[in-house]
Amino acid sequence: MCNRLKKRGMPCDSLQGAIEWRKRNLDVTQTKSWRIDGNQRAKPVSIEILGGDRAFDSETARRALTHTVPDLWFNQVNRLDTALKEHGVTLSAEKLLEVQATLFLLYQIETDRYLKIEAVYQMPDIFMIRPEHENYGAMIKSLEQCLNRPAATG
């Protein structure tokens, strides 16, 4: 993908330059992290113990709780849908997004309480598209198709 984006003009001399170019030139609804059914090819994230009793310093914990966890848990609506289906709950795409946003807000409140600060959170891409956005209808349609798939049986 990097080679394709490089051909489209993405700078490769710095990570920050590439990130900024992607923000300006890629439609968020067409990026891997924004897939409604999740990023199925993503490698699992592992957290290594850094030795002894000091697993993380406070800055590492803050960053993980305000950026990494929201990206992993709130960007992929399919995780919430799967959990709800396992308990016999079915929601429309709009209601599922509303529930996901409410859970994110509660997560922020509890994390701030835990960290004893008012942190700045990275807003998951899924919450960036609003009903007035031109791609909202396509996103809802795609999400409805995903929601209407039968739950996987183990």
Q: What is the pLDDT of residue 47?
A: 43
- In the predicted model, what is the mean pLDDT of residues 100-116? 88
Domain assignments of the chain as residue spans, ordered by start = 31-147
120-132 residue pLDDT tens: 888 887 788 888 8
Q: Which residues contact 95 (CB under 8 A, 6 or more apart)?
A: none
Judge whether residue 36 has pLDDT over 60. Answer: no
Q: What is the pLDDT of residue 46?
A: 42
Question: Using the 8-state DSSP alphabet, how is residue 125 labeled?
Answer: G
Judge whether residue 23 has pLDDT over 70. Answer: yes
Q: What CA–CA distance (Å, rounded) separates 76 from 100?
A: 9
Q: What is the pLDDT of residue 50?
A: 39
pLDDT-wise least confident of 45-49, 88-92, 146-150 = 45-49
Whole-prediction pTM: 0.57
